[in-house]
Amino acid sequence: MATSPPIKFGILGCADIARKVSRAINLSPNSTLYAVGSRSQEKAARFAEQNGFPESAKVYGSYDAVLDDPDVDAVYIPLPTSLHIKWAVLAAQKKKHLLLEKPVALNVAELDVILAACESSGVQIMDSTMWMHNPRTAKMKEFLSDASLFGELKSVHSCFTFAAKEDFLENDIRVKPDLDSLGALGDVGWYCIRSILWAADFQLPKSVLALPGTVFHKSGVILACSASLQWEDGKTATFHCSFLANLTMGVTVVGTNGTLYFHDFVIPFEENKASFSTAVKSGFTELVTGWEPKPSQHTVMTELPQEALMVKEFCRLVGSIKFGGAKPENKWPILSRKTQLVLDAVKVSIERGYELVEVTS
């Protein structure tokens, strides 16, 4: 069977995260770095030179020029969240497939405009939640789906924090209300919410309650917050996200028969392997001096880092559309929208003084 040509990527902007994704595009077997655009052509040229772009790559002094290039198949957009609606919609209108950095929008109303533009143009959209593509994630889902081992889901607890340096807290776009007004909730809380929904098979909670104690930047942007989620059937979840505490990214998923633990869910400790622990029908030794049986640890190897696997899957979908006449895969925009819905509800709960907020789709 003939191999399809690689998907040609254009990158809008030179954000730090774009360095990681540029490497991923180079590592993925079905993609190529084709163009980069910045408001400064000099900055774009420097970015291309430092991040493995081929000499033939196009370097543009505007975002529009990338979108106007007929040879660009797909764009990666790592711009500040407030700019997503403008540039994602323009990209879709120009028939460019979209790999969109998270959080995908400031709210679900904006996201719906982006999704409508993608649907109208028949282009694929996927958010850049990299851990979803790690082979560990599928292996952990096998455990959660095994009723004899895990049983029925009862609770999920997720935490993603890092200790931002002073320069970050003064100058980073994630503390600027005009650029990224969701702050820590959008940046790290997105991952917590996604992990909870993933564990719950993406069944939306009935309601969300932000917990008192939200910490705000002097600009008004959230620096740390917590929330609880409740479902109709009685299962619950909690999460905490923060720019003000030591690097932690842990998830615990508790069922009637088993428990899943993983401690590096957003970025694995090592890029070529990732581990998780499972406990099944846990109990104590006779004198209650230890556990019996003990939790077991499982390690999953990967030839490509998770971000390259994300690019590979995205390009597989784009290639199916471009070369095979397929329709865009609807799974990814649905997952983005559900994550955004819960994120919006948490924000509303905080703004209303920690009121219970119903989650409506």
For 28, 45, 111, 304, the CA distances from 82, given in Å and listed in that order, are 29, 25, 11, 32
Catalytic residue among 102, 235, 312, 338: 102
| Secondary structure element (H or E) that encloses residue 328, with its range | none
- Locate 252 and state its tokens: 């615990």
Compute how many other C-beta atoms are within 10 angstroms of the C-beta atom of residue 310: 24
* Pure H helices in the chain: 16-27, 41-50, 63-68, 84-93, 108-121, 135-144, 166-171, 183-184, 190-199, 306-324, 331-351
Is the distance from CB of 307 to CB of 130 less than 8 angstroms? yes
First to last CA, the chain: 42
CB-CB contact of 53 with 10 (8 Å): no
Whether 215 and 225 have beta carbons less than 8 Å apart is answered as yes
User: Quick check: is 102 catalytic?
Assistant: yes
d(CA 109, CA 62): 27
Catalytic sites, residue numbers = 102
